[in-house]
Amino acid sequence: MESTGNYAIGIDVGGTKMAIGLVRNDGRLIEAANLPTESVKGQGNAVLRIRQCIKELLASNHVDISDIRGLGVGCPGPLDLNSGVVLNPYTLPGWENESLVASLESVIELSVRIENDADAALLGECWVGAGKGRDPVVMLTFGTGVGGAVMNGSKIYRGFDGEHPEIGLMPIFPDMPADYSGVNGSLESLASGSGIAVQGKTFGFKDAASIFEANNLQQPDAVRIVQNAVRAAGIAGWTLAHTFVPECILLGGGLMDYQFEAYASSIRSHLDQANLIRKQSISVFKAALGNQAGVLGAASLWM
């Protein structure tokens, strides 16, 4: 049941947890809660827990379901946006080949819209974050993996049949080993948290954080890994700038809490070498909404 109410529900689905938020139509996040995803238990289990969480959010804020415009979901791809079917067996095992939209609508009295999680994050940033009032906008998220999204003409850029571009699989250093997707030296394998950690295991590092700590102490192996990550981000930013010529590039994700300046400086340095675009007009900003971007962007599907 779709309404013209004052609120929407936004859900940001991740591999380990789901964030569920009550969002007002001016972009204010009223309250949010986290649930474990536990996708191996199946969609049926998840949607029942989501239903209960939504009931509790509405009750604690004295909001009636009739005042909710709809439910928006940001979910890891690939997705079939028309049917709402999750096609990703890696991030969400147990949810693949089922319609998340149909599963949610069967137990919740709301209409449901679904979006790729990276696109949802960009929608949030362009609604009430660092991308507000800017267009076109390219966003890169560096966390466990690398996500990317593009806004052009106030619309999310999509490929054939609504496919989301997998920017993290962009090949950067083709002479380096292949990642899980079969791409040699991809952006994700070089500049994401998991990619950095995999490289570091060869040298005895336990995770990405320990590599960044060792880099600060000028440990040679760590320095080389971090330099490659930073350079890869710069090359990716240069490539995306030439491909989409955006007004700005936003950098988000967990790694940007402590590596933003390094990654942003690399992108700016590479842009300084550009000759065929007006590089001075392309700004590089840190995404403003943090882990709220996905929830707000999912809710914005109804605003």
| Per-residue pLDDT tens over the stretch 14-42 | 888 999 999 999 999 999 999 999 999 99
| Position 39 in a domain | yes
> What pLDDT does 1 receive?
44
| Position 296 in a domain | no
Task: Say what angle helices 220-244 and 208-216 make with each other, to 10 degrees.
Answer: 110
Tokens representing 265 are 């400086």
Phi, psi of 97 (to 5 degrees): 65, 20
Do 198 and 271 reside in the same domain of the chain?
A: yes
Do 181 and 261 reside in the same domain of the chain?
A: yes
Q: What is the pLDDT of residues 67-82, one digit of tens each?
A: 999 999 999 888 999 9
Q: Given CA atoms 207, 218, 286, 165 in this order, what sign does their dihedral have?
A: negative
Do 238 and 189 reside in the same domain of the chain?
A: yes
Do 194 and 245 reside in the same domain of the chain?
A: yes
> pTM higher than 0.75 for the full model?
yes
Chain centre to alpha carbon of residue 145 = 9
| Position 115 in a domain | no
Do 184 and 221 reside in the same domain of the chain?
A: yes
Q: Is 23 strand, coil or helix? A: strand
pLDDT in tens, the chain (303 residues): 446 899 999 999 988 899 999 999 999 999 999 999 999 999 999 999 999 999 999 999 999 999 999 999 999 888 999 999 998 777 899 999 999 999 999 999 999 999 999 999 999 999 999 999 999 999 999 988 899 999 999 999 999 888 899 999 999 999 988 877 788 999 999 999 999 999 999 999 999 999 999 999 999 999 999 999 999 999 999 999 999 999 999 999 989 999 999 999 999 999 998 877 776 789 999 999 999 999 999 999 999
Do 277 and 160 reside in the same domain of the chain?
A: yes
Tokens representing 32 are 């949010």
| Position 223 in a domain | yes
Range of the domain at 101: 7-110
Do 148 and 270 reside in the same domain of the chain?
A: yes
| Position 214 in a domain | yes
Which percentage of the chain shows pLDDT scores above 70? 98
| Position 300 in a domain | no
Do 136 and 268 reside in the same domain of the chain?
A: yes
> What pLDDT does 2 receive?
47
| Position 179 in a domain | yes
Do 105 and 166 reside in the same domain of the chain?
A: no
Q: What is the DSSP string of 249-299?
A: EEEESTTHHHHHHHHHHHHHHHHHT--SS-GGG-EEEE-SSGGGHHHHHHH
| Position 123 in a domain | no
Which residues are CB-neighbours of 7 under 8 A, at least 6 positions away?
22, 23, 24, 25, 30, 63, 67, 68, 69
Which percentage of the chain shows pLDDT scores above 90? 83
> What pLDDT does 3 receive?
63
Do 105 and 143 reside in the same domain of the chain?
A: no
Number of neighbouring beta carbons within 10 Å of residue 110 = 20
In 3D, which of 129, 120, 123, 128 has the Cα closest to residue 154? Answer: 123
Domain of 62, CATH number, reads: 3.30.420.40
> What pLDDT does 91 receive?
80
Do 90 and 152 reside in the same domain of the chain?
A: no
